[in-house]
Structures are given as structure tokens and as C-alpha cells.
Amino acid sequence: RSFPAGTRDEVRESFAVEHPDAEFPSAAVVDSRSARDLGADAYLLSDAEGFVGHGEAFRDAIVRAKESLPPDAALGLSGVATPRNVAVLAYAGVDLVDETLARTKGTQGMYLTADAAHFLEDLDELPCACPACAKSRSEFTRADCADHNANALRAELRRVRERIRSGRLRDYIEAQARHEGWLTAAFREFDDQWGYVEERTPLMRDAEVTAASAETLDRVEIRRFADRVTSRYRNRFTDQPLVLVPCSATKPYSDSQSHRQFHDAIQWRGHTVSMTSPIGVVPQELETTYPAQHYDSVVTGDWSEDEIGFVAEVLRRYLERNDYSRVIAHVPEDGYREICERVEGDPAVDVDFEYTCVDHPTTDESLGELNAALQGEPAYSKREREHNTVRAIADYLLGDGAGDDLFGGRGAGGGDGVDIERYGGEADVRTTGRYPKLQVWADDPDAGREGEPGEQLATMVPQYGTLSFTLAGARRWVESDAPTKRVEIDEFVPRGSVLAPGVVDAADEIRVGDEVVVEGPKAFAVGRAAMSGPEMAGATR
């Protein structure tokens, strides 16, 4: 037992509840303001009815409770779930609900669906085919209505669980939250709670990101990509101008017919960066990195002000960080040109823009203009492109400068290596394989026959555009200046996956999908995180 919403502090203190230890699975009733770890398996919030229905209060209560309770304990809300709100409850972090409110509403004559609540007497026919609704409208009673509401809630929960399994809950929420004002408010409040949501969002998913609403721009996957491109990524094609091109429906972009035409005109003489809503800008080295090849957007030819503003801001930040001799904007008028002109006019951007698109980017005249604009520019080699790709991915995954720390450019191991400019110089690795299935090897001629690469360090994962490290790569990672995502384990030798009880500590910045180094008194390994760092460190089961 605990206290309902609105209970005064002096009352809480005078009647503080004791929670005895239990040797069996147990649940503790707490309130969101004073929730703490009591050793229980689940926690039920007694003040749920006070904050459910109010966007900001709901967000504050859930975030406060989740951050105060163990990550492997279930959070339950009783007496508040309906078919219409349960998807948002789950998205917020609620694990357990009951049928209490749904059945109560039914006995009161309220017929609930996933998108509305109807007065039973207003319905001429029943918009459901569940067993409770099989009878005629004239025979349908309030008891039947209670059964229907429970059935509708169960059906919605099944839908939510399937969305979670497929990685598509966010797509569903962007539509579902619009059926009631407070749900829309709560959804947006959680988008503003960056730290809470980002920690719980995987680095990559198998599911496509569907960009179908303005709220898509606030998705963690979108904001994270834009932030890393403008704070971690660094252009290494310093002898070539920047060539801005529009995105394509085919992913990765280089597989599309339009981008093949762009490539034929550019011929490696420019650094290609694609402009797109909702992601912002995508350097060619990161075209396979999630979510750059995993999104689909609504194509109408019309850009909203939110889209134009977002992409313009990302492009501005990108140009402030990366130096180019000039910018060749091979983009059409609709949206793209306005973005470029807005950035070109920004006093903080000191680079000249040149526009080469006539009518449409793929017309012969436009492609001819693009080719002519690049006359006299030096072309970069396949080797340079592949090396810069794996270094750029390392920057994106691990942090600013990680690609040079790991794969050369300022000497493996940091400042003790070759004294060259931070983002210049030759890589001390070799790449084999066909893009995007590149393999990275230590450039060690003494490892075998003359010219043969040494130990393999990493492999590019084409499905997500990430890197998977070998043990040799993990050792180089640990010895370098690149930020290391470490998981410390107990004194044992892992025979497979490392489970949470064996974890002693984990870096806070680890997210689901990250490559991590696993270290312990008896072990050194590398793997992919299935939990965030705080979850690993806090979980006991």
C-alpha cells in the first residue's frame, strides 16, 4: 500500500509504509514521488490516477519512477489503462496494466475502442467483432460492454507487443497519440525528455523509420544521426569541393539510378553529401549507417517550414565544422535550393556556393553543368575512399577523431605516433573486400608474404553501416585514445553471452547495438551490447 496523488508530505512521513523482504516474487506499492528500490520484482504506482490524463505530470511521474527503480523491475499502473492510451503507456516505460478501468467504463455505458470512447446509447451498431459484440445491438448490455472493453484492451496490448518486437512502436505512436489531446501532449513531452528517451533507444534496428509526421524530426534516431554528423564526423576529402545532391527513394543512395548518374558526372572529383528530410545531410561514407538507409519519407515535392529549418540547421552546422574550397549545389528548386540559399546567406558560413541544376538534377544539361563545374579538380582513389569510409564510421560510432586514433591519420595510439595533422595523413591499415562489405586489416608487411596485411581489426556491417571489431581490433581500440565503451565483468570466463548478473560495471554511454569491450580478471572480449550501460550496471537478473 502507498499514498494516492495529492497526499501531503507530513501525512506521508507520519504513516510511512514498511516493505518487508520476501523470498518469493513480490510487488511493492509505491508512489511516484518517493519510489525507491525495495528489493521487489515489480512496483505499482499508487498515484497513477492523479497524473494519467495530464501530459507533463505523466512524463514527470514516469521518468522519476523509472530513474529511481531498478532497471530489471517491472513498473505497473493500475486502474488507468484503456485501449486508446495503453500504447502511449507502454512507450513511456510502463510494463504492467490491468483491466479495471476498461471494465468499469463498460458498466457505466462507455464503449471503448483504440481510437475513441463512445456512449453506448449513441451507437446504432457495434464497430467490433469480438465475442462480446457478436449479439445484436438491442441485446447488447452493459455487462457485454465491459467484456468488450476488456477484449479491446487485450487486442491493443497484443498490437503493442508486436510493434515492440518488430521495432515499430514509435511509428504506431505517432498516429495513435493523436486520438486524445493529453496523449499528444505526453508524447511530445517525452520527445523533450532527451536523456531519458535516448538512453533507451537502440543504436540501430532492423525496422524501417517511417517519416510520416512532423514529430518524426524529434525521433531519437534522427536527432542522434544529425548530432553525430555535425559533432563527430569530419570530412577527410580535403582536396575536393563539396557536392550537395538530393536524396533518393532507393537506399543506399549509391544504388539508385539518379545517384549513379551523379557519380558518372562527378567521377570522384567531389565529396558527395546527400540532403534529405528527415535526416539532414548524409556524407557518402555514412550512407549505409543507420538510419540513413533505413528510412522512408512521404514524397510530395512540398517541404514544410519545419523540414526546411531542420535540414538548413544541420547543413549550417556541418559546414561550420568542415572546410571546403567551395560548395557545388546540384539540387532542384523545391525545398533543396531554398535550404542552400538560406545557409549560404548565414554570416557564420564562409564558403562560396555554385548551383548547377537546370530544371531537374538528372537532365543531360544539368549533369553537363555538374561535370563542367568539377573540371580541373583532382580525383581521389578507391583506396582513399575505402579508408576514409571506415574512419568516418569509427568517428560516428565512437567519437570525434576515433577513426584516426584507430586506423591512422595521426598515429595509432594517439600523440606518440606520426606527427601529422589530426585529420590528415595516410591510414596505417588496409582494406579488402567489396564495398560495403569492407574488412580492415593492420598494415603489417612482416605478418606474411610481402605486401600481405597483418591481423584483421574490423569488418564493416553493411546492414547497419557499423563496424564489428575482432579481438585484435579491440586491443588496438583499448590502447588508442579513442573513447572506449567498456563492460567490466566478474571473475569468470564467458562461454557465450554475458548476462547482467555477471556485469560489475558498464560505461554510461553504452547503448543497445554498440560495440563494447568486455574486460574481467579472467577475460578480454568484444561484443555487441543488448542493454544500455546503466541497465547492465543496475540489473541483477
Average pLDDT per run of 10 along the chain, which is 541 residues long?
Answer: 69 71 86 91 95 97 97 97 98 98 98 97 95 95 98 98 96 95 97 96 94 91 98 97 97 97 98 96 98 89 92 98 98 94 96 96 98 98 96 98 86 34 63 96 66 84 97 97 97 94 97 98 97 96 88
CATH superfamily of 385-538: PUA domain (2.30.130.10)
pLDDT at 454: 84
Indicate where the chain has its CATH 3.20.20.105 domain(s): 9-199
| Per-residue confidence (pLDDT) for residue 428, from 0 to 100 | 84
Question: C-alpha distances in angstroms, 412 versus 422, 428, 442?
Answer: 12, 8, 10
Render the burial of 204-217: b for 16+ CB within 10 Å, e for the rest.
bbebebbbeeebbb
What is the bridge-based pairing of β-strands 271-276 and 242-246?
Answer: parallel
Which CATH number does 219-373 carry?
3.40.50.10630
CATH number of 9-199: 3.20.20.105
Dihedral pair phi/psi, residue 73, rounded to 5° = -100, 145
What pLDDT does 136 receive? 94
Report H helices in 94-216: 100-107, 142-166, 169-176, 181-192, 194-199
**What is the per-residue pLDDT for 5?**
65
CATH 3.40.50.10630 range(s) for the chain read: 219-373
Rounded to two decimals, what is the model's pTM?
A: 0.91
Q: Are residues 502 and 459 in contact, defined by beta-carbon separation less than 8 angstroms?
A: no
**In sequence order, what DSSP letters do the residues of 418-477 get, joined into one string?**
----TT-S-BSEEEESSTTS-EEEE--GGGSSTT---SEEEEEETTTTEEEE-HHHHHHH
- The boundaries of every CATH 2.30.130.10 domain in the chain are 385-538
User: CA–CA separation, 371 vs 361, rounded Å?
Assistant: 12
Report whether 263 contacts 280 (CB < 8 A).
Answer: no
- pLDDT score of 421: 38
Helix axes 169-176, 142-166, angle to 10 degrees: 140
| Residues 32/33/37/43 CA torsion (nearest 10 deg) | -20
The C-alpha cell that represents 397 in the structure block: 560510432
